[in-house]
Amino acid sequence: MIDLKNLTIEKARTSLDAKEFSAVDLAKTYLMEIEKKNKEFNAYLEVYDDVLEQAKTADEMIAKEESYPLLGIPLAVKDVILIKGKHVSAASKILENYIATYNATVITKLKKQGAVFLGRTNMDEFALGSSTENSAYGVTKNPHDNSRVPGGTSGGSAAVVAGDMALAALGSDTGGSIRLPSSFCGVVGLKPTYGRVSRYGLMAAVSSFDVIGPITKTTKDAQIIFDVIKGNDILDSTSIADKKYLGTPKKDKRVIGVPWELINQEGINLKVKENFKDAVKKLENLGYEVRDIKLPNCLALYYIINFAEVSTNLARFDGVRYGIHKDGQNLLKDYLLTRRDGFGKETKRRILLGTYVLSAGYYDAYYGKAQKARIALRKEFQELFSEIDLILTPTSPIPAWKIGEKSDPLSMYLVDIFTVTANIVGVPAISVPSGFVAIEDKNLPLGIQFMASHGAEDLLFEVGKNFEAMV
């Protein structure tokens, strides 16, 4: 019997190469777990029917003495990343029966390695939300407490890793969509530097924020997947050549900046603060120097740009070219009926607000100002990272909440206070588990977030591994 609870990509690679078990054995074990658990947690929207065929191909490659880091490794994929010939819906009714016509670049890279794709995971519709409650196909539940949310928007991807229904998963991160669910589910989530991983084949929510990244059990596993999927791509003009980043110079002592003023404000859960202070002490014991820094609250800036780009990106979903189509009395009625029935509440809300901030008379007051503020914030971060190596915050101001508890959208937006900044300025960030908090007889996971300067993922992996050894 394969011990899925303690299995990592690193361990699975060793066992597969040593023929202790086959890729087919491993895939079958995960399929059995999915069969047992997915009805309860609703983490997968679809389990692929060719999983065992993929695993058999991986075994044939292993038999030929081929070895790649992800050969035969069972992965889940967020339902917003295209796999040719497979359904992909962005958890929306408007794309209910859409089948991808090409592979995302990250999928092409993983297929070359012989990775096994188990299925597509649930998410907030079009990656808009923080809880995976906005899916058109039902809420995903947190494996640590099925009455609570797993976080979002990559909630399904985090839930399958935490629930031993996949060894690792791909998510996408627009303002914390990988890190927040990773924190709520007690796993590791990496948001790479903007441009280091190709967005080709990722359905766009907010093009200037979106990035694909891994959700895993350990920092080392996140590094393994990142090393496979990163790199320049001629199909994505925003992607960056890997040679631009040559690694961070070694130092005797790393400096971590902590924005205490932001963390000590009202609205941050007391148990989250206690857990965070314990994490800071552990890092100091590891030899890191911790300094107080100033960071602004960037939520207003983030959401203005988010709404604007969402309204633009989702304009293409009109029922004419792909997705569902509703017949009206004329072309305009076709559009109105299709978008009314195809989009969920949160998606409609963001389209309306985004259209407003981009409209004549309001563009300069909102979107124009937000872009100027974004440029100023980037300069501020460049100056900050000339003095420190890392920025540390809690990943979320609160633990996972009960399903349906946050019906007010504004209270949901406030949960993103620590995560959105990395997307605004494009720097890499990682959420690593920092312990548990007891609430209503359940142990709920908490996470801390590290941010580093552009291209300094190596620093995140270094500190993540060091911190994991202490927890």
- The model's pLDDT over 408-467, given as tens digits with 9 standing for 90+, comes to 888 889 999 999 999 999 999 999 999 999 999 999 999 999 999 999 999 999 999 999
User: pLDDT confidence of 232, banded at 50, 70, 90?
Assistant: very high
Q: Hey, which residues does 99 pair with through a beta bridge?
A: 87
355-381 confidence digits (pLDDT tens): 999 998 899 999 999 999 999 999 999
Predicted confidence (pLDDT) at residue 177 exceeds the cutoff of 90: yes
pLDDT at 1: 84
User: pLDDT confidence of 231, banded at 50, 70, 90?
Assistant: very high
Size of the chain, expressed as the number of residues it contains: 471
Cα 445 from Cα 280, distance rounded (Å): 17
Is the separation of the CB atoms in 375 and 244 below 8 Å?
no
AA letter at 38: N
Cα 88 from Cα 84, distance rounded (Å): 9
The gap from C-alpha 250 to its chain's centroid, in whole angstroms, comes to 29
Is the separation of the CB atoms in 144 and 262 below 8 Å?
no
Is the separation of the CB atoms in 426 and 193 below 8 Å?
yes
413-425 confidence digits (pLDDT tens): 999 999 999 999 9
pLDDT at 66: 92
Strands 289-292 and 168-173: unpaired
Closest residue by Cα to residue 421 from 315, 321, 297: 297
pLDDT at 321: 82
CATH of domain 1-471: 3.90.1300.10
pLDDT at 11: 97
AA letter at 89: S
Q: Is 294 exposed, middle or buried (0-12, 13-18, 19+ CB in 10 A)?
A: exposed
Q: Hey, which residues does 189 pair with through a beta bridge?
A: 215, 431
Is the separation of the CB atoms in 133 and 149 below 8 Å?
yes
273-315 confidence digits (pLDDT tens): 999 999 999 999 999 999 999 999 999 999 999 999 999 999 9
Arithmetic mean of pLDDT, 147-162: 98
Predicted confidence (pLDDT) at residue 243 exceeds the cutoff of 90: no
Arithmetic mean of pLDDT, 71-84: 98
pLDDT at 446: 98
Closest residue by Cα to residue 395 from 434, 424, 453, 452: 434
pLDDT at 108: 98
The gap from C-alpha 385 to its chain's centroid, in whole angstroms, comes to 24
Arithmetic mean of pLDDT, 155-173: 98
Arithmetic mean of pLDDT, 117-137: 97
Average pLDDT value over all residues in the chain: 96
AA letter at 304: I
Is the separation of the CB atoms in 15 and 67 below 8 Å?
no
Closest residue by Cα to residue 228 from 118, 106, 78, 114: 106
Cα 182 from Cα 430, distance rounded (Å): 9
Cα 432 from Cα 217, distance rounded (Å): 9
**Secondary structure of the chain in HEC code, one letter for each residue:** CCCCCCCCHHHHHHHHHCCCCCHHHHHHHHHHHHHHHHHHHCCEEEECCCHHHHHHHHHHHHHCCCCCCCCCCEEEEECCECCCCCECCCCCHHHCCCECCCCCHHHHHHHHHCCEEEEEECCCHHHCCCCCCCCCCCCCCECCECCECCCCCCHHHHHHHHCCCCCEEEEEECCCCCHHHHHHHCCEEEECCCCCECCCCECCCCCCCCEEEEEECCHHHHHHHHHHHECCCCCCCCCCCHHHCCCCCCCCCCEEEECHHHHCCCCCCHHHHHHHHHHHHHHHHCCCEEEECCCCCCHHHHHHHHHHHHHHHHHHCCCCCCCCCCCCCCHHHHHHHHHHHHCCHHHHHHHHHHHHHCCCCCCHHHHHHHHHHHHHHHHHHHHHCCCCCEEEEECCCCCCCECCCCCCHHHHHHHHCCCHHHHHHCCCEEEEEEEEEEECCEEEEEEEEEECCCCCHHHHHHHHHHHHHHC
pLDDT at 289: 97
Cα 254 from Cα 260, distance rounded (Å): 18
Q: What percent of the chain has pLDDT over 90?
A: 90
User: pLDDT confidence of 110, banded at 50, 70, 90?
Assistant: very high
Which of 34-43, 120-129, 284-293, 401-410 has the weakest average pLDDT? Answer: 401-410
pLDDT at 30: 98
For 122, what's the count of Cα atoms within 13 Å in the CB-facing half-sphere?
Answer: 28
Q: What percent of the chain has pLDDT over 70?
A: 100
Closest residue by Cα to residue 150 from 37, 313, 304: 37
User: pLDDT confidence of 394, banded at 50, 70, 90?
Assistant: very high
pLDDT at 414: 93
pLDDT at 250: 81
Is the separation of the CB atoms in 115 and 103 below 8 Å?
no
